[in-house]
Amino acid sequence: RLLVVDDEMAIRDALAELLGTLGWSVRTAGDIHEALMCLSPQWQPEALVLDYRLRDEVTGLDALAALRAQGCMAPAWVITGET
């Protein structure tokens, strides 16, 4: 189980498709609120992929902190398309 958090829908969809072909059960979220809504007792991610730059000055590190505060301790990769 893998959770992808990225504010760009095309990136979320592409990552979900790629990771799904590799055998991951993928859920996606566009922001922190959506990411937290993905968590449930029946579905906890085993890994996280977080875009560094989200909307409204929010970062993937902010999303990671919110997920950690809800007990999600999955390993995380923070990615960015910035140079």
- The pLDDT, as a whole number, for residue 83 is 73
- Report the Cα 11 to chain-centroid distance in Å: 11
- The pLDDT, as a whole number, for residue 58 is 96
- The pLDDT, as a whole number, for residue 2 is 97
What does the angle CA 69 – CA 48 – CA 13 come to, to the nearest 5 degrees? 125
Which residue in this structure is represented by tokens 């059960």?
A: 25
- The pLDDT, as a whole number, for residue 82 is 80
d(CA 59, CA 42): 27
* Average pLDDT, consecutive stretches of 10 residues, N- to C-terminus, the chain (83 residues): 97 96 97 97 96 96 98 96 79
